[in-house]
């Protein structure tokens, strides 16, 4: 049995569209910092999220599904909801009623290549002008940590983050998602 030409065109167009979408997603997805540590492990920044309004439920949770997936799932009939798993709520950390940036990171163990909570110290965030924000404690949530910057500055293009993992000073720089161009 031979497939109709129209069906083949639809399949080819769908594959092409998917490829273009995947390429664009890869192109525009920010590269998050990761650093090798002296003791053999690795610091990995996993997610950076900016909530410009504050108080949005789940906006700072790690690996939370997008809100549209919850709306679609809630619109499904109960019979389908019993079959299909709900979207991921993610891993909860801290959130804020104010605008905030959450930076999720993990210490990756050299032997197991898995996240482990590890020992961490206070976080210092340095701005473009050399000023610093008040120290922030990296709150643990499961095997990860969250740095929550409440009321982030709008006049610094980058945020330089520094803290200790075990007894090693680590630092990385991220683009400030709250930055407002003058």
pLDDT for 3-50, tens place per residue?
677 766 776 676 676 666 555 555 555 678 888 988 888 999 999 988
- 1 and 47 co-located in one domain: no
- 37 and 5 co-located in one domain: no
| pLDDT score at 182 | 78
- 57 and 99 co-located in one domain: yes
**What's the CATH number where 149 sits?**
2.60.40.3340
Residue 77 lies in a domain: no
Residue 152 lies in a domain: yes
State if pTM tops 0.85: no
| pLDDT score at 166 | 82
- 136 and 161 co-located in one domain: yes
| pLDDT score at 31 | 78
Contacts of 158 (CB under 8 A, 6+ apart): 128, 173, 174, 175, 176
| Positions of the chain with pLDDT under 50 | none
| pLDDT score at 136 | 93
SS3 82: helix
Q: What is the dihedral of CA 93, 98, 103, 106, to 10 degrees?
A: -20
- 98 and 20 co-located in one domain: no
Q: Six-digit token pair at 169? A: 């000073």
What distance, in Å, lies between the first and last C-alpha atoms of the chain?
64
- Please list the residues that pair with 105 across neighbouring strands: 45, 145
- 98 and 26 co-located in one domain: no
Cα 19 from chain centroid (whole Å): 24
| pLDDT score at 157 | 96
| pLDDT score at 147 | 92
- 15 and 42 co-located in one domain: no
- 127 and 147 co-located in one domain: yes
The count of structural domains within the chain is 2
| Domain ranges, residue 153 | 33-62+94-175
Residue 52 lies in a domain: yes
How far apart are alpha carbons 170 and 35 in whole angstroms?
8
Residue 75 lies in a domain: no
| pLDDT score at 179 | 95
Strands (E), the chain: 34-36, 42-51, 100-108, 115-116, 124-126, 139-141, 144-150, 158-165, 168-175
């Amino acid at each position: 049995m031979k497939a109709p030409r129209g069906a083949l065109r639809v399949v080819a167009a769908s594959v092409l569209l998917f490829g273009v979408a995947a390429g664009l997603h890869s192109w525009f997805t920010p590269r998050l910092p990761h650093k090798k540590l002296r003791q053999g492990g690795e610091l990995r920044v996993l997610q950076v999220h900016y909530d410009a309004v504050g108080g949005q439920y789940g906006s700072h949770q790690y690996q939370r599904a997008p809100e549209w997936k919850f709306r679609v799932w809630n619109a499904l009939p109960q019979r389908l909801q019993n079959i299909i798993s709900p979207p991921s709520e993610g891993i909860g950390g801290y959130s804020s009623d104010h605008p905030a940036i959450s930076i999720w990171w993990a210490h990756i163990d050299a032997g197991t290549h898995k996240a482990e909570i590890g020992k961490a110290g206070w976080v210092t965030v340095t701005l473009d002008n050399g000023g610093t924000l008040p120290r922030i404690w990296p709150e643990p949530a499961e095997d990860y940590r969250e740095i929550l910057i409440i009321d982030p500055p709008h006049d610094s293009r980058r945020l330089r983050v520094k803290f200790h993992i075990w007894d090693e000073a680590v630092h990385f720089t991220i683009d400030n998602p709250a930055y407002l161009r003058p």
